[in-house]
Amino acid sequence: MKLLFIHSDHLEFEAIEKAGGDDLAETDGVPMDGRMEDCLTAFISVESDDEASIEGVVENAATELRDVAGQLNTDRIVLYPYAHLSEDLAAPDSATTVMQELEATLTEEYEILRAPFGWYKAFEVSCKGHPLSELSRHVDCHTEEDPDDDETDREPSEWHVLTPAGDLLDTDAAKSEVSDDMRSFIEDEVDGVTASKGEEPPHVALMREKELVGYDGLSDVGNLRWYPRGKLVRDALMAYVDDLVIEYGGMPVETPIMYDLGARAISEHSDKFGERQYRFESGERRMMLRFAACFGQFSIMRDMHISANDLPLRIYEMSTYSFRREQKGEVVGLKRQRAFTMPDMHTATRDMEQARAELLRQAKLSLRTSEDLGINYEPALRMTAQFYEENEAWVEALVAELGTPVLLEVLPDRHHYWSAKIDFAAIDGLGRPIENPTVQIDVESAERFDIAYTDEDGKHRPPILHYSPSGGIERVLAALLEETAKMDTPRLPTWLSPTQVRFIPVGDEHVEHCDEVVDRLESVGIRADIDERNESVGKRIAGAETDWVPYYVVVGDREIESGTYGVNARATGEETDMSAEELEATVLDDVGELPQRPRYLPRYVSDHPTFTGS
């Protein structure tokens, strides 16, 4: 189905002449003329492929209409059959049925005016003329749930909690033995109890209040704009993950963001993935935007000559951006978006023994990110019953190595491309999981994408691991902000703080000295600024507190004469006398080996613009 959307001041039509005789022209239950003011007009061509599933194409078209109507903030919709958008039209009776069912689907939510099918009509439409007033979409008849693979017909998973000591606990019994976060994780995953349903997680308000990230009404929902403070944090996180993976042995590449659904391997893998996807037409080709870097990295592996000596072979990409077409109501803050940044590595391994060893190493690397970022992660280990039976001793050894209780899900059968995976989830301020790092053992893609390695015995298909050491960068920031919401004194790690040191000169005559110290700190990579605004010292101290600055210093005559500064540390709430050298050493020690970015805002706070509000 092809759709052309016009945000209209009005749409008016009148049926003039039947287009194909009495059998084709619709007459019952639909007006022969009509007018609607201030509405969304949807010109619709129903295509031959849509006849494979009338129900599916109606569902998908209704989703698009809700999405566009939501963006335009209108509850009035005109459904207008318009054959001229396509040369591959459905049969008239199918097209009529689609229009009727689409009206029935939407009529309880919107005021609907539907023009009749099978008539030549005179019409007048007035387009509002803003950037979103003309949009086009293409939808197919495939729904997210494959009727042949309905999860409601599957045997349920078995759930346990496995401890580092090797104890396999019933999840209900384990709730009294585990942390509050793991208990919340169990309740969400196993019991289906959604904590604080309908409430916004705390990070949504914080990302706006701290001028990190915002929404853009001229873009699609779930696409974010990053202000300087937020972009600095995002860039630092990306640099951190790049360094981590390259040190581990990942080889960076860059691959396209769109792929041809006409290629069997692409269509099969995308259908296995199960998440909602952006699919569209480019000329004569049906394409999709990537949901991860799988396709591009598999394509590289397919075209390589891989020998057994190359294994494990680790291909890595910071995929900016990847896309998932989340439902509008599911998109929330930094937790779920339609466009996101995903660090993605794929590792070809010799055999299942090497794949298991890599999964353990990569899972432990994920826990290292937990320490570096200051985020508490709860792990979930998921596998098929067959994998568990064949590897039970290894599973116990893995959990012992991780040193923390693991939520264990045993699936009766394999329905995905993976046979085993481990996920790590942060728990937000409302008790809900934010899934971040993941490692998966993929047992299908080597065959599907024709990936092979050679040794003395010939060619072999490698098990391939999918790995995101941090999870999506946006979700990492969501988890960081959720952690701050639990703190008595909220703060980001110093290496991620947009301003690491702030100087507050008592008077204008002290600004020059502050400049000299800032020059020194900046020369070693420390982000420092100066609040020289014409405000009281107390108000400027409050500003440093509001900005979560890790270290701030008030500079007056005494400090300049003595060369000693009273350094206020946010983490401890204490003031300590330090020289410039000691302050420099303290901040650098706090940052450690983690990446440093230059300051993204001007040196003087008086030059900082306001990015939020109107």
Q: Of 485, 505, 532, which residue constitutes the final position of a domain?
A: 485
Please name the residue that has the structure tokens 């100066």: 530
The verdict on 521 and 481 lying in the same domain is no
Q: Of 465, 485, 505, which residue constitutes the final position of a domain?
A: 485
Kindly state the average pLDDT of the residues 345-361. Answer: 97
> What number of helices (H) and strands (E) belong to the chain?
17, 29
The verdict on 55 and 173 lying in the same domain is no
Rounded distance between C-alpha atoms, residue 345 and residue 334, angstroms: 22
Report if residue 612 sits inside a domain: no
**Could you give phi then psi for residue 595, rounded to 5 degrees?**
-65, 145
Report if residue 148 sits inside a domain: no
Report if residue 614 sits inside a domain: no
Peptide bond into 312 cis (omega under 30): yes
The verdict on 474 and 564 lying in the same domain is no
CATH of the domain at 183: 3.30.930.10
| Neighbouring-strand partners of residue 12 | 35, 124
Report if residue 151 sits inside a domain: no
pLDDT of residue 161: 97
The verdict on 481 and 399 lying in the same domain is yes
* For residue 148, pLDDT beyond 60: no
The verdict on 118 and 64 lying in the same domain is yes
Q: Look at 169 and 146; give whichever has higher pLDDT.
A: 169
The verdict on 474 and 367 lying in the same domain is yes
Report if residue 20 sits inside a domain: yes
The verdict on 267 and 382 lying in the same domain is yes
Q: Enter the pTM of the model.
A: 0.78
pLDDT of residue 164: 97
Report if residue 613 sits inside a domain: no
Residue-wise pLDDT for 456-473, tens only, equals 999 999 999 999 999 999
Q: Of 442, 460, 485, which residue constitutes the final position of a domain?
A: 485
Rounded distance between C-alpha atoms, residue 225 and residue 212, angstroms: 9
Full residue range of the structural domain in which residue 536 is found: 494-607
Cβ burial, residue 506 (10 Å; 0-12/13-18/19+): middle
Structure tokens at 143: 């729904």
Give, as one character, the DSSP assignment of residue 244.
H
Kindly state the average pLDDT of the residues 78-101. Answer: 91
The verdict on 171 and 260 lying in the same domain is yes
Sheet order of strands, 528-530 included: 528-530, 501-505, 551-555, 565-569, 574-578
* For residue 147, pLDDT beyond 50: no
Start-to-end CA distance of the chain, whole Å, equals: 40
* For residue 300, pLDDT beyond 90: yes
The vertex-82 CA angle with 79 and 87, nearest 5°, equals: 140
DSSP 453-499: EEETTEEEPPPEEEEESS--HHHHHHHHHHHHHTSSS----GGG-S-
Contact criterion met (CB below 8 Å) for 408 and 257: no
Residue-wise pLDDT for 2-18, tens only, equals 999 999 999 999 999 99
Average pLDDT, the chain: 92
Question: Do the strands 528-530 and 501-505 form a parallel or antiparallel pair, or are they unpaired?
Answer: parallel
CATH of the domain at 82: 3.50.80.10
**Count of the separate structural domains present in the chain:** 3
Rounded distance between C-alpha atoms, residue 600 and residue 212, angstroms: 12
* 261 confidence band (pLDDT: 50, 70, 90): confident
Provide the 10 A C-beta neighbour count for residue 560: 19
The verdict on 378 and 469 lying in the same domain is yes
Kindly state the average pLDDT of the residues 565-577. Answer: 97
- Collect all residues with Cβ–Cβ distance below 8 Å to 486 and sequence separation of at least 6: 429
Rounded distance between C-alpha atoms, residue 499 and residue 544, angstroms: 9
The verdict on 534 and 572 lying in the same domain is yes
Which of 137-151, 364-378, 411-425 is predicted with the least confidence, judged by mean pLDDT? Answer: 137-151
Rounded distance between C-alpha atoms, residue 517 and residue 528, angstroms: 9
pLDDT of residue 275: 63
pLDDT of residue 89: 86
Question: Do the strands 251-252 and 313-323 form a parallel or antiparallel pair, or are they unpaired?
Answer: parallel
Kindly state the average pLDDT of the residues 272-295. Answer: 84
CATH of the domain at 570: 3.40.50.800
The verdict on 85 and 219 lying in the same domain is no
Kindly state the average pLDDT of the residues 527-542. Answer: 98
Contact criterion met (CB below 8 Å) for 519 and 580: no
Residue-wise pLDDT for 320-344, tens only, equals 899 998 877 778 899 999 999 999 9
The verdict on 588 and 521 lying in the same domain is yes
Give, as one character, the DSSP assignment of residue 51.
G
* For residue 362, pLDDT beyond 70: yes
Report if residue 386 sits inside a domain: yes
